[in-house]
Structures are given as structure tokens and as C-alpha cells.
Amino acid sequence: MTTALSTSIRSALDACGVDLSLLDSAQDLQTRTPITGEKLFGLPATDADGIDETISRAEAAFRTWRDVPAPERGHVVRRWGELLREHKRDLAVLVQSDAGKTMSEAEGEVQEMIDICELAIGQSRMLYGQTMPSERPGHRLMETWHPLGVVGVISAFNFPVAVFSWNTALALVCGNTVVWKPSELSLLSALGAHALLARAVADCGQDADIHHIILGEREAGEALVDDPRVALISATGSTRMGHEVAPRVAARFGRYLLELGGNNAAIVAPSADLDLALRGVVFAAAGTAGQRCTTMRRLIIHESIAEEFTEKLIAAYRTLQIGDPRDEGVLVGPLIHSGAYEGMRSALTSAQEEGGTVLCGGARVLEDEHPDAYYVEPAIVRMPGQSATVKTETFAPILYVLTYRDFDEALALHNDVPQGLSSAIFTSDQAEAEIFLSSRGSDCGIANVNIGTSGAEIGGAFGGEKETGGGRESGSDAWKAYMRRATNTVNYSGELPLAQGVKFL
């Protein structure tokens, strides 16, 4: 089928350097866009032999790549960042087609890739170890960091290229090679991102095998998870997926970095700037049609302002323009597929059975215009308490509203879920803000004051606790996840004193 959308996608793929002969409707994997629901192109899946060969080639490339000086490895990432700037719009078109994002959000995702490239370039000159004083005279005690080997990256549809780049940019400058298995729901943007990286590698005269992409469904990811040649698995997805990945990698004594579910909440205190809180809540709860891992799913409001704030929130929701994300003014695009819509409907039914009241939203819209796409009104549901449904992450725009009387109750509600990714408090009370950020406050990996739960910056480590998996990606010292540490002792004394004063010969 030739449509304006498929034509723009072909043009974007070609601009990124993707071989257009891959696009064959008779192939194994069928790409589809959530914008219209139409099927686009077929792509070849990487079979078991192909995956095995890919890992072998990445393993062989590692043996030489690890010896390339780290700043020189950074040159590849620098060039990748330059190409991403040059083709920001092209790659954003592919992200939009795959994930149904507005162009602003799609370009923002590519900007994240550019940002992590900048961070990784600097990191390539700062892979610091440390020197510690030795208790033995004439000895030097130090730590050094070394690359792991092959890093397997398994990414999700909702950020089809950004999270991949967080892992890949750092893994490469640390001296690892990368094999990437993108979501089968977002293959077009994956091909574009991979092609730009391949161009960067070629432009810098480095081995093309330092980075590979494999295409496939669940079985392709399992092959990476189970292969002992893959030193680290970095996987982004559901908590259910994490429960399967972690024990399988651990069984072979591999390493894993997991970014799993989030059931993120914000507390709105009586002292909060309600206009500020309103803007923060609406974007975090309804942006990307509720399909961010950092989407706000629970709102915990002090009972003294609950009615006023909820009314403002409902009014704001009714102004949100829902529709084709390519259209000007649209803020809420489609859900990824019918399964996401059914999950949303099921959650709303369960919430009502548990005593909840749907205050607004929840209906499917634009069905006549796009019968194969799933556009929904973001929903607000008032709940009498934190039920089983509220404690379960539903990857759709549902915001559960709960109330509290005192701050300790708010913290207890906030932390009483299995997930622990992102959190926020809106308050003008400094003590509340400080407590929220303290060890007795939010138990999440990300804790914010007077901003929402979405919109993390590259400079800070990204990740969460509890069933979110405990991994950290992007900024801070996240680079250490892609390296192994060695403790070294150098004896230049001419004697052989043993530690702790032990006498032997």
C-alpha cells in the first residue's frame, strides 16, 4: 500500500542510510503504525543461525575494540551525534510512525540521543579508577575499570531509540561491542538509528562489527538473554519480562541491567502552587498517551484541596486535543495497539468494581476515521483507597486520584506499591520537600520536587527500585554498569610484606 505516510517513511529511511530493499511485504516481520493502524512494510527476521553469527562477530570485534583508546572510541560517538543532529527530523518521522508520538515528543526523543552522545564523549576521557593508601610500605593500591565484552540491549516500543542510545553510547566508549534487539513494534526507527551509527563507525574507520542489530520477536531476545557470550543484558520492558530475564541471566552468572515497570505518583500538598502542579500533572499523566515508564498513574491530594484541584484537572483534560499526532495542535496520540486499549478498558472496569468513580475520559474516539487505530480519552478515576488495580501498572492514560489527611499517610500511600521508578511532590513546605527526598520519603529511584514524574535529564542516572529492577542508565556514574572493576596492588619495595601483618616464610 502506497500512502503519504509510507512515502514519508521511505524518504526518512533513505535519508538515514537504510537499504530500502529490506522493505518487502512478503518478509517475516510486519511493521504497523499506531497512527492509522495500517500495515506498512515487511522486514526479514534474523534467524537463530544469524543471531549466533552476529554474537560471534561482536565477540571477535571486542578483542580489538577494547584496545582502542577510550577518547578515540569517543570519536565514533561524536560522529554519531553529528549525524543525529543532521537527521533529527528524519529519525523523528520514524519514531512518530512507530510510537504514535507528536512531532515535538519524537524530536525530543532524538534530542535525548544527541544529549547522551555529548555526555558519552566527555565520559570517554573520564573512565576513572582510584588510588588508595596501602598499609604496606612501597606498595600502590588502586582500582581500574575494564570493558565487559558483548552488551545485549533489548528495548521497548515507547522510547524506541532513546533508551537504546543511552546504553549504546556509554557501552561503546567503555570499550564494549553491542548487539541490539529492538521491539518488534518499533522496527523502522530502529533501522534508522542503526544506519546512522553504522555510518558513524565507517566515517571513523572503525570495525563495523562493534555494533549489530537483530530483528525478531520474543525468541530473538531470549537468544541474547541465554547466550554466555553476552556479558551484560540491558533490558527495558515490563516487570513480567524482568521476572523472566533476571533468573535466566543469573543462572549463567551474567550481568543484567533492568528498567521495568513504573507506577508513579505525585503528592499535592496544601501549600502547593496549584497552577504549577496542574501543568506538571497533566503532562506527566496524559503525555505520550500514558505510555511512558515515568507516566504519572497515581495522584495523592490533600483532602482540603482535593475537590478544587480535581475540578481544575478535569477542565484541563477536556481541552486536550486527541488525534493524529502529525496534525498541528494535537497533544495526545494513539495507544500502540488493540491490546493496550483492552488493558485500559479492563483496568477501568476493575477500578469501578473496587469502588472507583470515572470522573472523565476512558472512551475510544476517532473510531470511524481510524477503525484500526486506538485513540482514547485520558481518564481520571477517583478511588476510595489504594486497591489491587491501583497498585498494578496499566500502560495507558489512567490517573487514579486518592486523598490524604496528614503527610505520613501520603508517604505511606505513595510507597505502598511494588514499583519504584519516578515520584514527585508539589509543595511550598521545605520540610515536606526535604522529607520526601530523604530516606524516609519516596522509595523511588527518581524523586522530584515541584515538577512532574516525566522528563528526566541525561545528566542524572535513570532507573528505579523494587520491581522497577534497580538498574541505572544514562548520566552520573551509570557507565560503571558497562565495565568490570579490578583491584590492583603494585609492589615496588623490594620486600614482600603480607597484608594484616601475616608472617609466612
Active-site amino acid positions:
259
Distance CA 46, CA 43 (A): 10
One-letter amino acid for residue 311 of the chain: E
Distance CA 386, CA 360 (A): 19
DSSP string computed for 176-240 = -EEEEE--TT-HHHHHHHHHHHHHHHHHTT--GGGEEE---SHHHHHHHHH-TTEEEEEEES-HH
Q: Bridge-partner residues for 43, per DSSP? A: 29
Distance CA 220, CA 55 (A): 12
Counted residue by residue, the chain has a size of 505
**DSSP E strands: which ranges in 261-394?**
264-268, 296-302, 357-360, 364-365, 375-376, 379-382
Neighbours of 11 (CB within 10 A): 13
**Phi, psi dihedral angles at 22 (to 5 degrees):** -70, -25
Distance CA 93, CA 400 (A): 33
Distance CA 324, CA 415 (A): 36
Distance CA 324, CA 326 (A): 5
Q: Buried b vs exposed e over 232-271: b needs ≥16 C-beta within 10 Å?
A: bbbbbbebebbebbbeebeeeebbbbbbbbbbbbbbbbee
Helix (H) or strand (E) holding 164: helix 162-173
CB neighbour list of residue 440: distance below 8 Å, 6 or more residues apart? 411
Distance CA 274, CA 241 (A): 38
What does R_g of the chain's alpha carbons equal in angstroms?
24
Going from the C-alpha of 328 to that of each of 7, 25, 399, 407, the distances in angstroms are 20, 31, 25, 42
Distance CA 246, CA 244 (A): 6
Q: Bridge-partner residues for 152, per DSSP? A: 179, 233
One-letter amino acid for residue 288 of the chain: T
Signed CA dihedral, 179, 181, 187, 193: sign only = negative
Distance CA 384, CA 407 (A): 18
